[in-house]
Amino acid sequence: MNHSAFNLSNAIGAWTGGLAISAGLGWAATGYVGAALALVGLVIFVFAQKLDRKD
């Protein structure tokens, strides 16, 4: 499951970066897309930690 999750997140990152480029935002926008995805991952991590501590 961990390897599958890694592959899925890699595909999502490439796809969203491609969307930013095709929208005409340029290559520099991929850094912002990556930062936004990292922030989303951090939020999911913190949420999962809080759920785990409740048990």
Q: What is the pLDDT of residues 3-39, one digit of tens each?
A: 998 999 999 999 999 999 999 999 999 999 999 999 9
CA gap 17, 15 in Å, rounded: 5
Is pTM beyond 0.85? Reply is: no
**What sign does the dihedral 15-16-19-20 (CA atoms) show?**
negative
Residue 1 binned pLDDT confidence (cut-offs 50, 70, 90): confident
pLDDT of 55 > 80? The answer is no
The predicted pLDDT at position 54 comes to 75
The predicted pLDDT at position 25 comes to 93
Residue 2 binned pLDDT confidence (cut-offs 50, 70, 90): confident
